[in-house]
Structure 1
Amino acid sequence: MFALFKKKSSTSQDSYQASWLVRHIPPSIKQRWSRWISKRLPPQAKVTLSHKGIFILPSAFGFAWLALILLLYLFGTNYQNNLVIGLSLLLGSVFHTCIIYSYKNLAGLTFSAVAPADAYAHQSHSFPILLTGHNKQTNTETTHQQICLQFSQQRHFRLKQTDENSVATVFYDNPRRGWLRPGRITVWSNFPLGLFKAWSYVDLDLKQLVFAQPIECDIKLTSQSSTQDDNQINGTTRAGVDDYTGLRSYVTGESLKQVAWKQVAQGKGMLTKEFNEPEGMPVWLSLTEQTADNLELKLSQLSWQVNKLSERKQVFGLILDQQTLAQNCGEQHRLACQKAIALYRPEMSMQPERDNDTNIFEQAVNNAR
């Protein structure tokens, strides 16, 4: 019966259900609520839910259940039917018991952030969150069920059942270039019967640098020399003795001077150190050489070219007006270039430090629904 009142888990409109009610709440009340939540649940690297931060209110189905109890009780007393009165009391005891189980389903859950993957502007990004349950050794079947996580005004992720350690991916769609601080995560559950909605706010002080959206284009490399224009020769690398690049398996007959004896002593076998050196003239990626119509498109083209050149293991530098990154190659150089592109003219690209505090109040009203 209660399944008829359950919401679809795939919808992304859960946070907008009570928007009409939020608009009629005075701003002073919203500000007071936001300050109270910020003081009660401050940002932490690891958050464990307890009675201090768990809120519980009846759902729409819960209010319908209460109305049914009242109707049955009035019917039973009016017609002096003890069976109907007993049924109303039974439903009331179930309603009361669900409060306890709704609380226990969230209490003890510990949340901590996991290092996310690279984030690119205008693409769906996810923050992996580690959930640690309180499964008891004496009862391994005791788990947290139907746990939902959601950033403000974003899609939610539903975890049907938690293990001792579970990872939930909380979505954030269409971020802008620059630093992204998504703010608090709303955690809620309607378990066990959907009569109550228990929720809390988890602030892990998340922060992610969003790179410019890569847009495929022709690679435009410039060189300081006018005598060589072949970009496939300029900026490439060859075997040499300048830059250490890594280890590879030892080939019989190679010089023992190149053997990584430290790894041999650790029992990792015979490995050879690899060194490279630049070949040809140094080449540059330059913002001024991009032919796109606006700044964001130019930065997106640079973002794609940086990734492509890094895949080729090509040596290159990056010029962004007054900022210059020296020629290099490898993963660290790629990340440095992407960071410089993402933060270029931050006054134009930075997102707000955090979502507006009034969103917290709006979430509370929505959860109460």
Structure 2
Amino acid sequence: MRKFIHSRWQRWVNRRIPRSDVQLLTQRNLFILPTAAGVVFGMLLLIMLITGINYQNSLIYLVTFLLGAVFVGAMHQTHRNLSGLELTLVQAGEGFAGDEILFRLRAAAGKDDAVAISLSGDDVSVRVGHVPSHQSVDVAFPVPSAFRGYLRPDQIRIETRFPFGLLKAWSWMRPHSAAVVFPRPLAAPEVISAVDDADEAASSRSPEGNDHAEIRPWREGDMSQRVMWKRFVRSGQMVVADWEADKGSPHWLDFNAFPGADHELRLSYLSWLVLERGKNGARFGLNLPGQVIEPDTGPAHVTRCLRALAIWGEEKPRDAFAEPHGTRSASDPAGRSAATSGVRS
């Protein structure tokens, strides 16, 4: 019953607060309730009112109505703290699995000051503080990650209890954009890539005239330089030549160079190798099933390769879907069907 009520409540909230990178807080999406202290305060007012009625004491009436007016004024002020506040997702961060990924948000107040604002979610709380009227404050909101892939918090709670802490007003922001979580780097063993540089392959040997080549059917991810195009023209068969003496090129980081390792471990090895090549300023390319990044150097190339490793075989989160700690979960198999369909043995 509890799960049913929670699911109905969650569906209602999701309809009322759709996913967006910009959230304007209005009466439609703001909620307010008494805190525990507010409930005790209200019970105290009720007891005082009953006592005043019983003894017909004007002083008790006066104190009761004064404190009641304070409670009502606090309710309006608490609601006004958030009313008109606009929360914008400026940037969804990037990082490695196991780290906290920073989502950079901007809180802009409307015609009224926003006082004592805080953001929370997934056991993380960030104090924003005071946002003056018609001004903005930038804040970094950390989201814990555990798996590579896309990371998007389901809800970010915006809350205030000012003044007195008798009531709390809150709402949620449900970001649409997702952060990218890179595979956790693990020191890779010494391996040799099976990928040749295109120019070396073209100049050193020809598939049609090599007696030591093994002929096999073409598989997705094979380089076009290995295809025996003359045979394809004659027979229509797409075949590839594998050479026995092929030792690959040192300029390539190859997904298939780690026999026996599962897919996630291979990606962690490649993540470590990408970082090492980036530190040394070496020229390198990345070969993944279904995707090839040509050799290059520089920080932009390193980031591009890390992003490719992070999202390989993953799908962007759907609007109504958000996986905690990343798009992968502990129950996922080592390789998804979408990813394994393109893996070469």
Distance 1:292 1:107, change over 3 A: farther
1:283 aligns with 2:259: no
1:127-276 residue pairs with structure 2 within 5 A? 127-134=103-110, 143-151=113-121, 153-163=122-132, 164-217=135-188, 222=193
Aligned-residue CA RMSD (Å):
2.8
Contact 1:223 1:283 in 2 (8 A): no
Q: Which residue of 2 aligns with 1:300?
A: 268
Q: Match for residue 2 of structure 2?
A: 25
Q: 1:321 to 1:48 in 2, by over 3 A?
A: closer
**Shift, 1:112, TM fit:** 0.9
Change (3 A) 1:98 1:74: same
For residues 115 and 146 of structure 2, the distance between their equivalents in structure 1, rounded to whole angstroms, comes to 30
Counterparts of 1:96-111 in structure 2, within 5 Å, are 96-111=72-87
Deviation of 1:26 (Å):
5.2
TM-score (norm 2): 0.69
Secondary structure of the corresponding residue to residue 91 of structure 2:
coil
Deviations 1:315-358 (A, max 9, x none): 111123454322111233222211221123338xx8786238xx
Q: Distance in 2 between matches of 1:213 and 1:284?
A: 20
Candidates 97, 107, 111, aligned match of 1:121? 97
Given that 2:152 and 2:175 are in contact with CA atoms closer than 8 Å, whether structure 1 keeps it comes out as no
3-state SS of paired residue (1:166): strand
Q: 1:214 Cα shift? A: 2.1
The C-alpha deviation readout for 1:208-238, integer Å capped at 9, x for no partner, is 221111234567564868xxxxxxxxxxxxx
1:311 aligns with 2:279: yes
For residue 322 of structure 2, what is the aligned residue in structure 1?
A: 355
Aligned length: 269
Partners in 1 of 2:322 and 2:291 — Cα distance? 30
Q: Percent identity?
A: 29
Deviation at 1:25, TM superposition (A): 2.4
Distance 1:327 1:189 in 2: 51
In the other structure, the counterpart of 2:208 is none
Residue matched to 2:229:
none
**Gaps in structure 1 of 5+ consecutive residues:** 1-23, 137-141, 226-280, 357-369
Tell me how far 1:51 sits from its aligned partner.
Answer: 0.8
Q: 1:341 to 1:26 in 2, by over 3 A?
A: closer
Distance 1:211 1:352, change over 3 A: farther
CA contact (8 A) 2:33 2:169 kept: yes
- Check the 8 A contact 2:94/2:102 in 1, yes or no: no
Task: Please state if 1:345 is matched with 2:313.
Answer: yes
Q: Within 1, Cα distance between the matches of 2:317 and 2:176?
A: 15
2:29 is equivalent to residue 53 of structure 1: yes
TM-score, normalization by structure 1: 0.65
User: Structure 1 residues 292, 311: CA separation in 2 closer, same or farther (over 3 Å shift)?
Assistant: farther
On the 8 A contact 2:278/2:302 being kept in 1, the answer is yes
Tell me the residue number matched to 1:14.
none
Q: Tell me how far apart the structure 1 counterparts of residues 79 and 265 of structure 2 sit (CA, whole Å).
A: 49
2:43 to 54, 67, 71: 67
For residues 63 and 292 of structure 1, the distance between their equivalents in structure 2, rounded to whole angstroms, comes to 61
Amino acid in the other structure paired with 2:275: N
Give the deviation of 1:161 after TM superposition.
Answer: 1.6
Contact 2:101 2:179 in 1 (8 A): no
- Amino acid paired to 1:304: W
Superposed CA deviations along residues 42-87 of structure 1, whole A, max 9, x for unmatched, are 2233221111110111111111001111122222333333222211
Question: What is the alpha-carbon distance in structure 2 between the residues aligned to residue 78 and residue 298 of structure 1?
Answer: 78
CA separation of 1:55 and 1:158: change in aligned 2, threshold 3 A: same
Q: Specify whether residues 43 and 352 from structure 1 end up closer, same or farther in structure 2 by C-alpha distance, changes over 3 A only.
A: closer
Map residues 78-93 of structure 1 onto 2, 5 A cutoff.
78-93=54-69
- Separation in 1, partners of 2:190, 2:118: 44
Q: Does 1:77 align with 2:53?
A: yes
What is the letter of the counterpart of residue 302 of structure 1? L
User: How far did 1:290 drift?
Assistant: 4.4
Distance (whole Å) between structure 1 residues aligned to residue 190 and residue 87 of structure 2: 43
Provide structure 2 residue ranges, at least 5 long, that are not aligned to the other structure: 197-248, 324-345
